[in-house]
Amino acid sequence: MQKILGNLVDAEKGIIDRRIFCEQDIYELELKNIFARCWNFVAHESQVKEFGDFITTYIGEDAVIVTRAKDMSINVMLNSCPHRGNKVCFAGEGKVRSFVCNYHGWAFGLDGALNGMPANELYDNTPGFDKSDWGLHRARVETYKGLVFATFDHSAPSLETFLGDFRWYLDAILDNDDQGTEFLPGTTRSVMDCNWKYPADNFVGDIYHALWTHLGGAEATLAPYGGVVVTNEDSYQASVNGHGWEFSVANNFGNAATMGDKEIIKYMRAREDEITAKLGDVRAKMWGSVGSACIFPSLAFLPGYFTFRTFLPKGPNQTELHTWTLVPKEASDEIKDRWRKGCMRTFSPTGILEMDDGENWEHATAANKGLVTRNQKLCYSMSPVEQDTSGALPGTVHKGQLTDANQRLFFKRYGEFMDAETWDDIPMAPITR
């Protein structure tokens, strides 16, 4: 495998080799050096609120179960029986007391421990067999203000170190009142025939596409009010450890406005002073302004709509999307329901804006497969704005949201992970907030 950073990824000039979007051996290394190593988002705490609640998802291509155990701890473990490997849970979510494997009936607790099996005595009479050796393989679990992350790499630094100062930005959405947030019930699952990095790169810093891709969709939903207005005045891109957020500070409801629901706009405007008092003017605007964000490698969200989504890799040419709507717990049921509908109209498999995006990512992925095509480069060089070195905002900040800066930093991070032998080789930005 050739070196990624400096060879397939030139993060300084913004020249990216297309092979990272299509080649199987590069994809296999991504599973090992990125997904099996990183902190991966697996759930919101509200999805496993009570003892027995569980949901299933993936870390890379590894199926995992997220549970709430009796001691109220959150557990993440492989969804694969250590006896012969069968899946132990086939449901997307639910409530259980234990997981019983279909094949031979081994039973596991909510913490993954092997509790028993049919014809127990066969194992009682097996010299050296110890049930505690054969539980479901567990991941490390840490949370940040409602978001649950897990990693299978026991040498990984803390989640706090991994997120670094990006937590300061996340608080705009996760910590702007006393009650916190929750996911509305239900998970939307869909499959796109695209490389997982296309959506990640889009959310980490590509507002540029909205001026063109979403023009028709926005006008269709909003009639004469549908013009997409994005400028480098009053806007920024911020990046920390490869996590990125591009955002406007013109108002606190720009993204939400395209859902076309006046009651949501009223709610957001009414809360601006309170959030400004708690978090300051910039983050009060970031709560809902025109913008998008991605936590490396593949958890993305949109302020305003509050759609949260993971891009789960299924080979170099396919991605499974899981999406949810995050809402402030304190909002009324009516406002929450308006958010649910607005989010479904725009960012769901049938949402008009999500369909706009998916088509582009699928066609780009398919085009890269061509033998001559895959040996060409992609242009990530757009740099019309200066870096903001004032230190007013944490991380690497650029003055304007129409730039490829965050995407270059995302791929720089991608290269650092791909080339690293261990976590010690991966640089971490200092924590300043």
Residues interacting with ligand FES, by CB under 6 A? 81, 83-84, 86, 101, 103-106
Q: CA–CA distance from 217 to each of 86, 135, 190, 206 (Å)? A: 44, 49, 20, 17
Nearest distance in Å: CB 21, ligand FES = 36
Whose Cβ is closer to Fe ion: residue 53's or residue 354's? 354
- Residue number closest to Fe ion, CB atom: 357
Find which of Fe ion, ligand FES, none residue 32 binds, CB within 5 to 8 Å per kind.
none
Whose Cβ is closer to Fe ion: residue 45's or residue 357's? 357
Find which of ligand FES, Fe ion, none residue 189 binds, CB within 5 to 8 Å per kind.
none
With CA atoms as reference, report the closest residue to 137 among 77, 52, 64.
Answer: 77
With CA atoms as reference, report the closest residue to 27 among 365, 422, 380, 425.
Answer: 365
Is the link from the previous residue into 427 a cis peptide, with omega within 30 of 0? no
Find which of ligand FES, Fe ion, none residue 185 binds, CB within 5 to 8 Å per kind.
none
Whose Cβ is closer to ligand FES: residue 106's or residue 296's? 106
Whose Cβ is closer to ligand FES: residue 103's or residue 225's? 103
Find which of Fe ion, ligand FES, none residue 357 binds, CB within 5 to 8 Å per kind.
Fe ion
Find which of ligand FES, Fe ion, none residue 92 binds, CB within 5 to 8 Å per kind.
none
Find which of Fe ion, ligand FES, none residue 76 binds, CB within 5 to 8 Å per kind.
none
Whose Cβ is closer to Fe ion: residue 80's or residue 202's? 202
> 120: which residues sit within 8 A by CB, 6+ positions away?
none
**CB of 396 within 8 A of CB of 239?**
yes
Whose Cβ is closer to ligand FES: residue 118's or residue 185's? 118
Nearest distance in Å: CB 88, ligand FES = 7
Whose Cβ is closer to ligand FES: residue 51's or residue 123's? 123
Nearest distance in Å: CB 380, Fe ion = 17
Nearest distance in Å: CB 101, ligand FES = 3
Whose Cβ is closer to Fe ion: residue 3's or residue 209's? 209
Find which of ligand FES, Fe ion, none residue 86 binds, CB within 5 to 8 Å per kind.
ligand FES
φ and ψ at residue 21, rounded to 5 degrees: -95, 0
Structural tokens at position 106: 């081994």
What residues make contact with Fe ion under the rule CB under 5 A?
357
Please give the Cα distance from 153 to 155 (Å, whole number).
Answer: 5
Find which of ligand FES, Fe ion, none residue 341 binds, CB within 5 to 8 Å per kind.
none
Whose Cβ is closer to Fe ion: residue 23's or residue 357's? 357
Nearest distance in Å: CB 31, ligand FES = 23
Nearest distance in Å: CB 95, Fe ion = 36
Nearest distance in Å: CB 217, Fe ion = 9
Nearest distance in Å: CB 167, Fe ion = 25
**CB of 395 within 8 A of CB of 429?**
yes
Find which of ligand FES, Fe ion, none residue 83 binds, CB within 5 to 8 Å per kind.
ligand FES
Nearest distance in Å: CB 80, ligand FES = 9
